[in-house]
Chain A
Amino acid sequence: MNEAAVRIVVLAKQVPDTKNVTGEVMKPDGTLNRAALAAIFNPEDLNALEMALDLKDRYGGEVIVMTMGPPRAADILRDALCRGADRVILLSDRRFAGADTLATSYTLAQAIATHLSPFDLVVCGRQAIDGDTAQVPPQVAEKLGIPQVTYVIEAIEVKDGKMRLRRDLGRREEVVEAELPLLITVPRTANRPRWPNARRLLKYRHARCGFELEAEARRRRAEVHEVLADLKARGLYIETWGAEEIQADLARIGLGGSPTKVKKVDSVVLKGRSLRFFTPDDKGIKELVGELIEERTFG
């Protein structure tokens, strides 16, 4: 392995596709109707994965993708394998549920610290489209005691234990040099994520996580331990860790480990406004302009 090789952990999230709502978001009882939304790979996490894979292409090394979520989040890990990830990990435990950003960052950082150290780089999408908070990555960096560089649009160079990066801060652009190990976050403008590779797709769509072993054993009419051994031997086992595997402090995970609580949730109700239509011809438009002038909307 060459000296510059980078060991990278990508943190990803499965999210409801909030940009394509296909039904009522709220049920009549006021709870969220998750069924109205498809579950997808958080878009900017794909940009994070792309940046990691590109670094591996350039310098060699390893790309590990980890997600925290329910068992079905294994879907995005299969996708990550098909796109080129070397190793994937599912953090899933009922006790992780209800976590806010602080409890989530504790869980992710704990998994990295207990099993994935030493690493060079943690790469995250800028933010997830369900919460849009962008808080988890800096909180993971703080817990790991490493610096962070957010809004990275280009990984310019890795050299001598340091990395040069370009940041897009809206009105300002920066080039920074940061010491490794380091956490970075990546916005959608950074790159165009590669598609799943056809050959890898054929192989890795058969990857299974710990929660899927029993169903797989039934399908194959085999024992669970046999299926597990077979999946592992073929690189098709999605490592699955719960609170014990990462030696989590139970007081710091899930709902109980979350300082913030949701007091209430309201569906966005469109304000009923007195909407007046004007015809698209010269007459209608003249009327409209007259009205706007009368109301002193101009000037």
Chain B
Amino acid sequence: MTRHGEVWTFAEIEDGQIAGVSLELLGKGRELAQALGVPLAAVLIGHRIRSLADRLFAHGADIVYGADHECLAEYTTLPYARVLVNLVRERKPDIVLYGATPLGRDLAPRVASALKTGLTADCTDLQIGSYESGGRVYENKLLQIRPAWGGNIIATIVSPDHLPEMATVREGVMRVPDPVEGRNGTYIEVPVNPQPQDFKVRILESRTHPRRVDLRSAAIIVAGGYGMGSKENFRLVHELAGVLGAAVGASRAAVDAGFIHADHQIGQTGTTVRPKLYIACGISGAVQHRAGMEESAKILAINIDPEAPIFSVAHYGIVGDVREVIPRLIKALRGKL
């Protein structure tokens, strides 16, 4: 089968800017488009968006489809889904990728259902490859790789007979391609015809709170788990992070126990990170947590239990009580740094 359809990425707007995950998608999208020999496009929906297109071009988009209308100024599901569904039907892309953000996970399944096509959630990798079934070989299919069963297994999913192949992609696992300032592309304006029946949900209030912590761009992360024992002891994690100029992370168990706010959560349901150094304090290392941090360049695990699974992904280990080890570590660091 020869491929003609483009590779598309949905460009999400966050605080008036292109969301980080949408830039990450352009890096992976470029690889896929190259492997297939087709153009890479981004779909940009909103109001007064033209200036944002340049950033998409700089990061690798050949084409930007822009749907610009005041009724699209804020995201609600149905009007955005209508724009995408109509555009897919008209232009027939082969692949459409979305960030696995709350917005992407709200929009993509609605679009997939209307198009009666396959959708794979929360992929951590995408490749082009072949798929064999019933004596038939499908070439150049999108291999959609994702963890399942709480991260205990990794599944490779294909959508052999349906186009477009669609996937949402987890935030933070793919790299943002370096921008080429001044790189140009084709901007195609998409006509918008608002349908009254699409405006059944109205946003009455919207409040954005600033990120308490920026885990994804931190070079060093000190993360604490349930093994810290109490909110008071969790102060040691903050203290160690302070000495290192590091960001503070946490396991879900620590968040659930009320030691720290959920914005700090790392793992399958939190943020995925890969800092230069990850220090896991009192974190046993459930598979869901490991999924969010095991790509870190160096991992130091401090845990009282030598059998804790966190040690299976660590490079350095200290078996001991965090309440004693962390103060010693702080002391040693203060003397050296």
Contacts and interface: CB of A to CB of B under 8 A. Distances in A.
A288 to B, nearest CB: 6
Interface string A274-299: 11111111101110111111010110
B8 interface: no
B238 interface: no
Interface string A135-171: 1111101110001111100000000000010000111
B156 A173 contact: no
A138 B113 CA distance: 8
Given A275-B315, A276-B315, A276-B316, A134 B149 contact: no
6 contacts: A131-B148, A135-B112, A271-B312, A280-B318, A289-B329, A298-B277
A148 B298 CA distance: 43
A132 B122 contact: yes
A219 B178 CA distance: 70
* Among all A-B residue pairs, the 5 with the closest Cβ atoms: A280-B320, A18-B150, A259-B118, A133-B121, A142-B113
B268 interface: yes
B205 A266 contact: no
A164 B206 contact: no
B157 A173 contact: no
Interface string B206-244: 111111000000001000000000000000000000001
Contacts of B324: 280
A132 B156 contact: no
A272 B118 CA distance: 35
A93 interface: no
Given A102-B116, A147-B200, 10 more contacts: A102-B118, A105-B113, A129-B150, A142-B114, A169-B103, A259-B159, A270-B309, A270-B312, A275-B314, A285-B325
Contacts of B316: 275-278, 288, 291-292
B137 interface: no
Contacts of B207: 172-174
Interface in B287-326: 287-288, 294, 297-298, 300, 309, 311-321, 324-325
B118 A100 contact: yes
A79 to B, nearest CB: 21
B112 A16 contact: no
Interface of A: 16, 18-19, 21, 25-26, 32, 100-102, 105, 129-139, 141-143, 147-151, 164, 169-179, 182, 258-268, 270-271, 273-282, 284-286, 288-293, 295, 297-298
A102 B116 CA distance: 7
A179 B152 contact: no
A18 B288 CA distance: 10
Given A25-B152, A171-B208, A298-B337, A259 B161 contact: yes
A18 B319 CA distance: 28
B333 interface: yes
Contact of B110 (A141, A280, A288): A141
A280 B319 contact: yes
B203 A174 contact: yes
A133 B98 CA distance: 13
Interface in B156-205: 156-162, 200-205
Interface string B60-92: 000000000000000001100100000000000
Given A176-B202, A298-B277, A16 B149 contact: yes
A293 B336 contact: yes
Nearest to A137: B109
B275 to A, nearest CB: 10
Nearest to A271: B313
B332 A289 contact: yes
Contact of A147 (B78, B143, B206, B318): B78
A47 to B, nearest CB: 14
B153 interface: yes
A170 B269 CA distance: 11
Contacts of B78: 147
A263 B133 CA distance: 9
Contact of A263 (B156, B203, B288): B156
